[in-house]
Amino acid sequence: MRIVVIGTGYVGLVSGACLADFGHEVVCVDQSSAKIAELSRGQIPIHEPGLEGLVARNLGRNLNFSTDAPANVAGADLVILAVGTPSSEDGKAELGHLFQAVEEVVPHLRGGATLVVKSTVPVGTARRIRQRAAQLPCPPRFVLVSNPEFLREGSAIRDFNEPDRIVIGHGEGESPATIRAIYAQLLARGVPLVEMSNEAAELCKYASNTFLALRVAYVNEMADFCEAVGVDIASVVQGMALDRRIGHHYFQPGPGFGGSCFSKDISALLYTAHEAGLDLRIGSAVKQANSLRKQGLAKRVARAAGGTLKGKSIAVLGLAFKANTDDMRDSAALNLIADLRSRGVTVRTYDPAARPPALAGVTGCSSLAEAITGTDAAVIMTEWDEFRSMDLAAVAKLMRKPVVVDFRNLFPLSKAKAAGITYHSLGRATVRHQPEGQTALPQGESLPLPVPA
C-alpha cells in the first residue's frame, strides 16, 4: 500500500514510521523544510522511545520524507492528515492547518484514493471537508475516513502497534477497505476495529480524552480530601482501582494534567457542545478543577518552603508534561515556573529530555545534582525514572534546606523518613525533617498538609 502522511509531528511521524515498518511504502510530508531535512538524515526532532531505531530501520527504503505534498499524493492509495489542531483563544479547535492540507492534497488525489483524518477534529469536520473539496477545481472521487488516533506520547510506538481498538468513521455506502488493509497485521492479531459514522468517530475521540481527564481530575480531588482528613490517597486508590469497573489507568494524583491534547480537546468539546445548544457541566468542571489545581501549585510549594518564597532558590525537576517525552505543551511545570518567578523565586530546572524555557531568572541545568545544589526546595513535576530512583539522602546533602515537594508521589513515606528530609507529596502525610536537637512532633514525624485555599 502506498501511503502519504501529512504532518510529521508526534502523531504523523510515529504513524508513518510504524506503517512503514508494517511493510507499506510511506512518504511523510511536512511543511517545515528544516524538520524534513533533519528527518531525511535520520535525526528525530522529538523524544519518543524507540522512534529513532524504527526510523533508521526503514529510512530510504519504504520510509521517505518530503515537503512536496502534491507530487507524492498523486501516486498514493491512502493519504493521512495528521496536522495539528490547536485551541484558539475561545477554545474552538483551530482547523486552519487541516483545511490548508485538504486544499493542498485533494486536487492531486487519484480517483478512488482514501483520505484519512487522523488529527483530532470536532464533530462535523468530515462533512466540512467534503463541502470544501467540492468547491475545488475538478475534485476527484475519494473515500473520506475518520480514524482518530489514541496513542500516548512516551509509549507511542507500542500504543500504535498494540491499540485497544481501531476506530473507523466513514460515510454510508463508502468502503473502508483500504484503511482496513493498512491495519491488516493488527486486525490479524485480533485488534478490534469499530466502524461508525464519521461524526461518531470524531466525537468518540473527544469523549474519550475528556473522560480520561475526568479520572485525573477526580483522583486529584480525592487526594485533596485525603490531605484534609489525614487519609493516605495510595490506600484509597488501591482499594478503588482493584475494582474492575474502575481500574487503575489515569488514576494517580499529580500536578494537574497537561500535554497537547486533554485541555484543548475538552475546550473544543465544550465549544462544539455550546454551538449545539448544550452546556456540558461535567466537562466544564474538569477543565476548571484542573486549571485551579495548576494555579495552586506555587502555594503548596510556598507552604513547604516555610511560608514565603521571595528570594528563595527552587529546583523544578521535570519540565515535560509526563515522563518519556520532551513535550512541554500545557505542562504544569511551566505554570509553576511562571508563578514561582512572579513570587521572586530563582528557579533551577532539570529535565532528562525537555529543553529548559529561556526565561529570566530560570537556569536550565544539565544534571539533577546541578539543579538541586544550594536550593531551598526541590519540586518533582514529572515522573521520570531518574527522579524515582534518586537517593533522597544524597539529594538532601546538596540542598541548602532538605525540602522535597513531590507532585508525583514517587516515594514511599518510609524512604523520605529514612533519608531525613522534609517531604511533601499529594494526599499523604507530610514527613518533617527534625534538625538535630529539636524534639520530634507528637505521634512521630507526620502531619497532614492543609488543602490549598
Which are the catalytic amino acids?
261
- Residue 34 burial by Cβ neighbours in a 10 Å radius (0-12, 13-18, 19+): exposed
As given in the structure block, the three cell numbers for residue 446 are: 507526620
The interface region with ligand NAD, picked from 77-85, 123-131, 371-379, 393-401 by CB under 6 A, is: 77-85
Considering the complex, what minimum distance in angstroms separates the CB of residue 217 from ligand NAD?
19
**What's the start-to-end Cα distance of the chain, in Å?**
57
Q: Which of residues 123-152 bind ligand NAD (CB under 6 A)?
A: 149, 151
Could you give the count of Cα atoms lying within 13 Å of 369 in the half-sphere of its Cβ? 4
CB closer to ligand NAD out of 332 and 365: 332
Beta bridge partners of 144: 115
Could you give the count of Cα atoms lying within 13 Å of 153 in the half-sphere of its Cβ? 22
- The CA distances from residue 279 to 120, 210, 400, in Å, are 21, 14, 50
CB closer to ligand NAD out of 48 and 339: 48
12 near ligand NAD, judged by CB under 6 A: yes
What DSSP letter does each residue of 360-393 carry, written as one string? TTEEE-SSHHHHHTT-SEEEE-S--HHHHT--HH
Longest dimension (CA), the chain: 85
The interface region with ligand NAD, picked from 57-65, 94-102, 192-200, 300-308 by CB under 6 A, is: 94-102
With contact defined as beta carbons under 8 Å apart, do 241 and 247 qualify?
yes
100 near ligand NAD, judged by CB under 6 A: yes
7 near ligand NAD, judged by CB under 6 A: yes
Instruction: Give the x-and-dash track for 244-273 against ligand NAD (CB under 6 A).
Output: ----------------xx------------
Report the C-alpha gap between 199 and 276 in whole angstroms.
14
Residue type (1 letter), 381: M
Q: Which of residues 400-429 bind ligand NAD (CB under 6 A)?
A: none
Considering the complex, what minimum distance in angstroms separates the CB of residue 191 from ligand NAD?
17
* Torsion, Cα of 305, 307, 308, 312 (10° steps): -10
Q: Which of 1, 25, 32, 232 touches ligand NAD by CB under 6 A?
A: 32
Beta bridge partners of 114: 78, 143
CB closer to ligand NAD out of 100 and 235: 100
Considering the complex, what minimum distance in angstroms separates the CB of residue 156 from ligand NAD?
7
Report the C-alpha gap between 351 and 377 in whole angstroms.
16
Cα Rg of the chain (Å, integer): 24
Q: Which of 3, 4, 5, 11 touches ligand NAD by CB under 6 A?
A: 11
Considering the complex, what minimum distance in angstroms separates the CB of residue 406 from ligand NAD?
25
Residue type (1 letter), 235: S
85 near ligand NAD, judged by CB under 6 A: yes
Considering the complex, what minimum distance in angstroms separates the CB of residue 295 from ligand NAD?
24
Q: Which of 3, 5, 6, 113 touches ligand NAD by CB under 6 A?
A: 6
Q: Which of 83, 298, 390, 404 touches ligand NAD by CB under 6 A?
A: 83
101 near ligand NAD, judged by CB under 6 A: yes
Query: What angle separates helix 332-342 from helix 281-295, to the nearest 10 degrees?
Result: 50
Nearest residue to ligand NAD, scored by beta-carbon proximity: 9
120 near ligand NAD, judged by CB under 6 A: yes
Considering the complex, what minimum distance in angstroms separates the CB of residue 409 from ligand NAD?
24
With contact defined as beta carbons under 8 Å apart, do 80 and 18 qualify?
no
Residues engaged in binding ligand NAD (CB under 6 A): 6-12, 29-32, 35, 82-85, 97, 100-101, 104, 119-120, 149, 151, 153, 260-261
